Amino acid sequence: MFVIVWQFDIAEDKTPAFEAAYAPGGTWALLFARSADYLGTELLKDAYVPGRYLTLDRWASEDAFRAFRAQHDADYEIVDRSCDHITANELRIGAFLL
């Protein structure tokens, strides 16, 4: 399994829009679900830092994720740009193998 972890900081008034885009079943998950190798997303809300979240996007393999990006790069960029106004800070923590 291949897991990509992102950290986001958002303003409180952006919480509903952020969760709609980044939650399981949200905008990103619907895009990723175009691949049979997408295994799901988890959205974690920090218990102590307001507005801080982590996302964990799970894929069958790194190659599967790379193939998805190659095939759907234009749509990925469109969704990414549409979410720019939601996040105050975005940091890719890393990509991990399980």
Domain locations in the chain as residue ranges = 2-97
What integer best gives the mean pLDDT of the chain?
97
In residues, how long is the chain?
98
Yes or no: domain 2-97 corresponds to CATH 3.30.1180.20: no
Going by pLDDT thresholds of 50, 70 and 90, the confidence category of residue 20 is very high
| Closest to 80 in 3D by CA, of 6, 15, 13, 16 | 6
Task: Kindly report whether the global pTM for this prediction surpasses the value 0.85.
Answer: yes
Angle between helices 62-83 and 15-22 (to 10 degrees): 150
Question: Is 60 in contact with 2 (CB distance < 8 Å)?
Answer: yes
Burial class (CB in 10 A: 0-12, 13-18, 19+), 39: middle
